[in-house]
Amino acid sequence: MSDIYIPGVKSRLNTDTIIEELMKVERIPRERSERQIETLETEKGYWQEMGRRIGSLRESARSLFSFQNPFNDRIARSSDESVLSGAATRQAVEQERSFIVKQVAKADRFLSDPLDPSYRVKAGNYTFKVGSDEITLNYRGGTLNDFAEVLNRRGRGKIQAGVLSVESGTKSLLIESLVTGAENRLSFSGAAEELVHSLGIGRRAQETPESSLPDRAAVSDGPLTVEAGKTAAIEFPRTAQELSAREGMILSFETSTKVTPPAGGEAPAAPQGPLIPGAGSVSYGGITVENDSSSVSLPEWTPPPVPVRVDDPQMLFLRFTDGSSASLPVVKDSSGFVTGSVKLDELGPGKTVGSLEIVNHNTHRDLSIRNVSVYNPAPPPEFRADNAISTAQDAIIVMEGIEIKRPSNDISDLIPGVTVTAKSPSDKPVTLAIEPDREGVKDSIIALVGNYNRLMAELNVLTRNDDRIVQELDYMTAEEQTELRNRLGTFSGDSMLNQFKNRLQRAVTNPYPVQVEETSMLLAQIGIGTDVRRAGASTGYDPARLRGYLEIDEKVLDAALQRDIRSIQQLFGLDTDGDLIVDSGVAHSLDTITKPYVETGGVISLKTGTIDSRIDQEKRRVATLDRQLEAKEDALKRQYGRMESAYSRMEKMGTSLDNFSRQANSINNSR
């Protein structure tokens, strides 16, 4: 079938193939330009990638000496994060503080009795008050879930409600304040007061059985004197015991002391010894004979010891009904009665006081105590909850012996630049240390080394045609290594890149001045170098160690950051002339070296711009060649078309001559 000729459809002389073969030769310059464009675009991509690597190195270098460098960051490290934590800003001063969390701030949270799931809240005007803020809700009536949703929408971040299934088959309404602090108590009025009363949440204070207790209970009125060396106890009456178990109670008393001065005068003289009567005598004939005097052997005289003087101001103790006890503050000497007080919550939270014990170990001090009483210093609340999950209270912490009270657990006005957060009460001191963010500094240094090594690998691959360079990068995937092999030696003749690589290597190996010790430092001194992890080892020649890659010995770096972080800061960036501009250091040198390459109009921009110009030039040439090729192809088609047409005419003429000849022969034969 291929030999069949169809006029107008298939060329008898196969001119299409002839034209295509001729055009292949004509297209060679165009194909060469297209390959040149691809090569230029590939080189442009390499330069752009180089620019990104240089930019990353510069950014990580600038982060180590700029105004926002991590050396000025601070962190707050707590010895017990479950009790107290902190957050520090750059303005915080390095210091260490001791805290005791006596009480954390809480908000009112009230729970209702178990209710039938079908319980409906009546329509009405519901008013809720959190501190001085009032939330009013005009409710049309509905289920507990609907009431909670409406209240949450109107709560304005002050109050919220939820429906819980505390007991199976029932529902309970939880109403809670979102604002902590004793001054932000949750109260109700209007239809809300009726609702909480009907749900068993609570009622007005004067309606509760607990309100029958007075706010003050006397323990002892008249003075009780306990002489030196004696003990005594004051029993708490039942009313005072019940009152002492409530929150916020104060124990007050008045004390006075009488101090007897030590006896003065001279030291006692030695005793005279026993009185011995005379020995007597005998007389005879006018002669008297005297007897020898009696003698007594006395022991050596030793003066008696001076009585020991005992000074013990700790004389008051509380005994609780569970058998435990607590010491009250020491008693100060005063000839007149002075008032003392103590918060019972601090001595025994939730415990009931049984007696006040006076133990006087002193040898020269008499103690008198009177007007012992328990009272509530706060005004009685308007609302008392029957089932309070938590009660509004302030946070109370003690910093270095100073008691601080705040309505919130986040306290930002105590230490400049530090926010202290109380999390749970504890009688054990918690240490909060404000110190440099060494982990942040370490991460920034590691990022710098990582970006440096990645740029150095890019430079080694582009400037040298050695497959070992790729093999040494064993941390890369097989795909990444294949991509790098395609780049090997692309810019091997570019002396500028080789000079750039050498400057980078010198920047990380040169010594830099530090003012802390008025000396110079090297990166190797903080565990960063080309062979720090194998220092002192004799392993022979290793060409990979000569390519400029940096290594980090984390143990050495951690020790250096812990020991002298200021010297490390100056190693990376230092103002040597006092003009408040950093002009020395590793990071500063790297920034100076890389800046001309990535800044606007820099080396990378010029390189890619030049390549863009060459690409545009080649594209214009391709466009011109396309027009020329199109014209050439049209001309060939016309020429071969005319040839085909002439050939067809000649063929037709030959056919006509043959026919004429046959006709002539037929006529001649017929004659």
What would the pLDDT profile of 491-524 be if each residue is shown by its tens digit?
888 889 999 999 999 999 999 999 876 789 999 9
Which residue, 380, 322, 372, is CA-closest to 348?
322
582 and 454 in one domain? Answer: yes
Structural domain for 472, as ranges: 40-70+439-605
pLDDT at 203: 75
Q: Is the residue at 425 inside a domain?
A: yes
Question: What are the strands, taking DSSP E only, across 437-591?
Answer: 512-514, 519-521, 528-529, 551-552
In this structure, the answer to whether residues 452 and 579 fall within a common structural domain is: yes
Count of structural domains, the chain: 3
Residue 220 lies in a domain: no
Angle at Cα 118 formed by Cα 112 and Cα 120, nearest 5°? 70
H or E stretch covering 634: helix 603-670
Percentage of the chain beyond pLDDT 70 is: 91
- Which pLDDT score is estimated for 2? 44
So what's the pLDDT on residue 214? 54
Q: Are 402 and 525 within one domain?
A: no
Q: Is residue 333 part of a domain?
A: no
Domain for residue 542, yes or no?
A: yes
pLDDT digits (tens, 9 = 90+) for 613-627: 999 999 999 899 889
Instruction: Give a yes or no: residue 659 inside a domain.
Output: no
Where a domain ends, among 605, 622, 645? 605
Query: How large is the average pLDDT for residues 206-227?
Result: 68
User: In this model, does residue 208 exceed pLDDT 50?
Assistant: no
Q: Which of 157, 177, 212 is the last residue of a domain?
A: 212
448 vs 62: CA distance, rounded Å? 10
pLDDT average, residue stretch 53-64? 95
Quick count: other Cβ atoms within 10 Å of Cβ 7?
9
User: Given a cut of 60, is residue 591 above it in pLDDT?
Assistant: yes
- Mean of per-residue pLDDT scores for the chain: 86
pLDDT above 50 for 213: no
Same domain, 523 and 584: yes
166 shares its domain with 117: yes
- Beta bridge partners, 255, equal 338, 369
Same domain, 515 and 556: yes
| 331-361 tens-digit pLDDT | 989 888 888 888 888 888 778 899 999 999 9
Residue 491 shares a structural domain with residue 597: yes
The confidence score (pLDDT) of residue 277 equals 72
Average pLDDT over residues 400-407: 90
| pLDDT value at residue 468 | 86
153 contacts: CB under 8 Å, gap ≥ 6: none
Residue labelled with tokens 């863009």: 612
Please report whether residue 297 resides in a domain: no
How many CB atoms are closer than 10 A to CB 537?
Answer: 8
Same domain for 196 and 142, yes or no, is: yes
Q: What own/partner pairs with CB < 8 Å and gap ≥ 24 does 454-458 have?
A: 454/53, 454/56, 455/50, 455/53, 455/54, 455/56, 455/57, 455/504, 456/501, 456/504, 456/505, 456/547, 456/548, 456/549, 457/484, 457/549, 458/49, 458/50, 458/53
Give dist(CA 643, CA 398) in Å, integer: 110
From 190, 212, 234, the end of a domain falls on 212
The answer, yes or no, to whether residue 211 has pLDDT greater than 80, is no
Residues 89 and 119 in one domain: no
**pLDDT mean over 96-116:** 93
Residue 5 has pLDDT above 50, yes or no: no
What pLDDT score was predicted for residue 87?
95
Same domain, 443 and 582: yes
Q: Which tops the pLDDT comparison, 410 or 26?
A: 410
Q: What are phi and psi of 326, to 5 degrees?
A: -150, 145
Query: Given pLDDT bands bounded at 50, 70 and 90, which one contains residue 379?
Result: low
* pLDDT at residue 271 in the model: 72
Asked whether residue 210 carries a pLDDT value surpassing 50, the answer given is: no
Is 269:233 a contact under the CB 8 Å cutoff? no
Query: Angle 192-198-200 (CA atoms, 0-180°, nearest 5)?
Result: 105
Note whether residue 626 is domain-resident: no
Phi-psi region of 350 (alpha: psi -120 to 50; beta: other; left: phi over 0): left
Per-position DSSP letters for 357-382, written without gaps between them: EEE---SSEEEEEEEEEEE--SPPPS
Nearest of 595, 575, 506 to residue 62 by alpha carbon: 595
The verdict on 477 and 583 lying in the same domain is yes
Share of the chain above pLDDT 90, in %: 49
Whether 279 is covered by a domain: the verdict is no
Gap between the Cα atoms of 370 and 337, Å rounded: 9
Query: Using 50, 70 and 90 to split pLDDT, how confident is the model at 181?
Result: very high
57 in the same domain as 178: no
